[in-house]
A and B are shown apart, each in its own frame.
Chain A
Amino acid sequence: MKPVLAIAWMAVRSAVRSRVVGVLLGLLFLAIIGLPLTVKSDGTLAGEVQVRLTYTLGAVLIILSIATWWAGCAAVSSEVQAKQIQLVLTKPVGRGAVWLGKWLGLVALNAALLAVSGAAIYGMIRWKLSPARLTEAQQRELREQILVARYSVAPQPLDVTAEARRIFAEQQKAGAVPTNQPVEQVVRAIEESLVRSAHTVPPGYKRTWVFELPAAPVGEQPVVLRYKFSSSEVTKGTLVRGLWLVGPVGKADRFELEQVNATDGAHAVAIPVSAFGGSRQVAVEYANINPLPIAVLFEPQGGIELQPYAGSFEGNLARALMLAWVQLAFVGAVALAAGTLLSLPVAALVTGYVLLLVKAGDYVALLATERGTFFSGAAQGQPGESALDWVLRQVLWVESALVQPLQGPNVLEYLTAGRALEWSAVAGAFLIKVVIYSGLCAAVTTFLFNRREIALPME
């Protein structure tokens, strides 16, 4: 382990000596202090804080990602090109240790820079929150809306399988099911229709959703009910009057709140903790009391959610920085692996491709499941897919299977929306990106590096 740490220390020292750290720190501070002076928000206090957080932390992550990408690619390849690597490899140090040392150096440097950046961003937020700048009410508003960590709890899913099968059987019996459609597709369509109906509130009607919270709400922080809906009124922004009733399941005494909301907008209301009566199981009911007959349609996915308090903003920011650090460690591992085996320009391109693939993971997964996307033009589920299409789909399927585990919460979106980044997410990301994927990079690279001739006469 000693040689590894020695190489890591040398990597950090050389970065400091070569003024890389100085330049990076300068850029980071420019982003953290300069950007908030130039960016425009929507004119609200919450919007201003969200924009500052998004742009400063976003800029920090971009700068560090690019620096890690470049430094990782150059760490070994430039030494090979300058023939300096021989000085290290002729010593009793394994090539795996060299790789690991360089990676740990990068990781340590990123940790230090992220910590400094995080502290600066937090200092900026604290400065913004100071009593000289904001009233107590404004501070409380920010602490409740943005500078907080909240769980996002969806309503318990509806089980419509049996009902869909029953309707399907009835329709099949009546000869109403098209014979050229796969059975599963028809049943799925019926299920979707049932779920949509369950999220529709006709004029004068009520709908109830049941939520299972992670814990019974306590303390002073209210629970936020977020919802969005469309309506049978086609005009965008039509105002609809509704009544929310919230309380423990099975209790008649419930918290009531009348709201007039714009169709197609995103809405949030604060529900006091007392409304939950110390219960984890909560019933949320919406009564459509609009005087004009307008039906309200909540989106089945994400149309309604409860957001109980999960923790402080400080803890969330710390977890966001850890997730960012884990991501940078992964970028460093890929870049270093490419730089160890290839020349600097090729390594940079390969790393860029891999990172792009990871970023577009959802799109790759979609392409892998759709038939006839490339050449044959046959629709999904239809015969006529060409062999070339099939091969390409298998390649995409493998790529998708490799990059899917690397998908995780969007740190910036979670942080600026006040959504909790949980410890389990941090641990999961660490396990996948650092232990498994970076470990794989280390193993494969060491294996190939050990077989690579370094001091060839032509080089």
Chain B
Amino acid sequence: MMKTVVLVLVVLGSLWLAGRQHGPLLQMRREYRLNWEEPLENSPPLVGFTTVALGGFRGIIADVLWLRASKLQEEKKYFELVQLADWITKLEPRFALVWAFHGWNMAYNISVLLDNPADRWRWVKHGFELMRDQGLFYNPGDPQLHRELGWIFQHKMGNILDQAHLYYKRAWAEEMAQLFDGPRPDYVFARAHPDDPRVKRMREQYRLDPALMQAVDAQYGPLDWRLPPAHAIYWAYRGRPYARGFDLVQIDRMIFQSMQDNFWSGRLVVEPAENIFTPSPNPDAFETVNRAYQAARAAHPEETSIQSAHRNFLKDAILVLYLHHYTRQARDAFERMREQYPDATSARSFEVFVRGEFRAQVRDMSQREALAMVEGLLGQAAQWLVIGEEDRWRGAYLAARYCWQEYMKTRTDPALVERTGLPPFAVLWQQARDRAAARARTAAAKARLAEAGEAAAPAEE
């Protein structure tokens, strides 16, 4: 009897000692980077049970569920797919690619098969929520999962390839507007009031850490957090410490590409009364984008694609800066481009380069380029109005009008207009004058801006 008691005590003591080693072992695993993934702690009991109790059989079950999901998807029956994706991923919770695949499948493959933008948006959300809320919980240290999540923000929502991209942007901006006012949270308030319902929701539901957002904003901003590029940068930034080798190159690439997106369409123009919602160019972001490119070039000198991307960015940005009346920055950028990439242009002077780019771009503009150009020219026109330069404001105005018409005349299909069209010209002109009026100091300048709107004569020319 005594022997049995001693043995039981030895067993219990050994178990206790083994348990005590768990924490230090996990810590050492982190410290020595025995693998890139963070150790999984506090997983739900059901996941713990399925991953341990089912053993090798869980692979077979996952395969059967996967086959069913594929069959249902082929048959266009989507109602079960969220549940099946949930089960498949829970059976292989530490296999980050499985989370990435199912999230991507829902956000990309299924969403586009639906007609209604609201239905599409639901599936895009299913996709990134699966990765963000669960995939990253089980794989907090997986850089690829961070990148895939960021990619949905950068490409699916941020780009203009999906017919419903504006719906996604608007829906996301509306969700963000419930968390903070204006383009970004009040970081000081968020830190001082972590239990504030909006701050809590931001942290718990959207997994947005205000301190991290502030760090991202300080390094890459200012960003408009109502727009997708800011979130693509955020998730890439969160995944960066875990990335090595080519993963790091890809994460860095996501950061500077999203920053570039922030330059092209990082200023949100909202006119609820007119139902206007347009992400438009943000010339103020030029310096930070350029810095990010320089940093990426220095970090990955062997990646020639980064150099090409930087060169192309400078080339495109010069015209945008010029058209938005950021003439000094545009000249600086031109000089930098000539210095760093002598083969980028054969133009002998800044003026020659700008004229050539303008002519070339009007012929073949993308939506964001067209908007950048029209907005920039209208901004210039408003500035000339402020200082009373009659000929110049009319010239810039007519150039903007010409660009708008050239771009829109090839878009006759309503679906194409919805996806890649520009806001009405009159609205853009009104906004340019409003911005100029806000900066104008004299009553005379404000009056000139108001009169130009009322007369609207040049618009008819």
Contact residues of A with B, CB < 8 Å?
39-44, 46-47, 50-51, 54-55, 228, 236-237, 239, 241, 259-262, 264-267, 290-292, 416-417
Contact = CB atoms under 8 A, between A and B. Distances in A.
A237 B413 contact: no
Given A42-B126, A44-B79, A266-B76, A291 B115 contact: no
B112 interface: yes
A236 B109 contact: yes
B86 interface: yes
Contacts of A264: 113
Contacts of A236: 109, 112-113
Across the A-B interface, give the 10 residue pairs with the lowest CB-CB distance, nearest first: A237-B112, A266-B76, A47-B79, A265-B113, A291-B413, A50-B79, A40-B83, A40-B82, A42-B79, A43-B122
A42 B122 contact: yes
A316 to B, nearest CB: 18
Given A50-B80, A265-B114, 18 more contacts: A40-B82, A41-B79, A42-B122, A51-B79, A236-B113, A259-B115, A260-B115, A262-B112, A262-B113, A262-B114, A265-B112, A265-B113, A266-B113, A290-B413, A291-B414, A292-B413, A292-B416, A416-B79
Contact of A47 (B78, B112, B415): B78
Contacts of B163: 237, 239
28 contacts: A41-B83, A42-B79, A42-B122, A42-B123, A43-B122, A44-B119, A47-B79, A50-B79, A50-B80, A51-B80, A54-B80, A55-B83, A236-B113, A237-B113, A237-B163, A239-B115, A260-B115, A262-B112, A262-B115, A265-B76, A265-B112, A265-B114, A266-B76, A266-B113, A291-B413, A291-B414, A292-B416, A416-B79
Name the residue among B77, B163, B416 with the largest chain A CB count within 10 angstroms: B77
Main secondary structure of the interface of A (DSSP, over half): mixed
B12 to A, nearest CB: 36
A409 to B, nearest CB: 15
Interface in B322-346: none
A262 B77 CA distance: 15
B412 interface: yes
Contacts of B123: 42
A55 B114 CA distance: 24
Contacts of B199: none
A307 B349 CA distance: 70
B81 interface: yes
Nearest to B162: A237
Contacts of A44: 79, 119, 122
Given A241-B415, A266-B76, A42 B113 contact: no
B415 A260 contact: yes
Interface in B107-152: 109, 111-115, 119, 122-123, 126
B164 to A, nearest CB: 9
A302 to B, nearest CB: 10
Contacts of B79: 41-42, 44, 46-47, 50-51, 54, 416
Contact of B76 (A47, A51, A228, A239): A228
Contacts of B76: 228, 265-266
Contacts of B113: 236-237, 262, 264-266
Name the residue among B79, B415, B416 with the largest chain A CB count within 10 angstroms: B79
B347 to A, nearest CB: 37
Contacts of A290: 413
A39 B79 CA distance: 11
B82 A41 contact: yes
Contacts of A259: 115
Interface string B160-182: 00110000000000000000000
A416 B72 CA distance: 13
Contacts of B115: 239, 259-262, 265, 267
A239 B415 contact: yes
Contacts of B78: 42, 47
A283 B212 CA distance: 62
Contacts of A237: 111-113, 162-163
Nearest to A259: B115
Contacts of B413: 290-292
A303 to B, nearest CB: 12
Nearest to A241: B415
Contacts of A266: 76, 113
Contacts of A262: 112-115
Contact of A51 (B83, B122, B126): B83
Nearest to A237: B112
Contact of A39 (B83, B111, B412): B83
B120 to A, nearest CB: 8
Contacts of B119: 44
A43 B83 contact: no
A43 B124 CA distance: 12
A40 B112 contact: no
Contacts of A39: 83
Given A42-B78, A43-B82, A47-B78, A291 B412 contact: yes
Nearest to B412: A291
Contacts of A43: 82, 122, 126
A54 B80 CA distance: 9
B159 to A, nearest CB: 13
Contacts of A265: 76, 112-115
Contacts of B415: 239, 241, 260
Contacts of B82: 40-43
B132 to A, nearest CB: 16
Nearest to B112: A237
B162 to A, nearest CB: 8
B129 to A, nearest CB: 10
Contacts of A50: 79-80
A417 B126 CA distance: 23
Contacts of A261: 115
A172 to B, nearest CB: 38
A54 B72 CA distance: 13
A267 B163 CA distance: 17
A207 to B, nearest CB: 20
Nearest to B76: A266
Interface string B402-417: 0000000000111110
Interface string B62-89: 0000000000000011111111001000
Contacts of B114: 262, 265
A123 B412 CA distance: 53
A241 B416 CA distance: 12
Contacts of A41: 79, 82-83
Nearest to A413: B77
A437 to B, nearest CB: 27
A228 B126 CA distance: 24
A228 B119 CA distance: 17
Name the residue among B113, B123, B162 with the largest chain A CB count within 10 angstroms: B113
Contacts of B414: 291
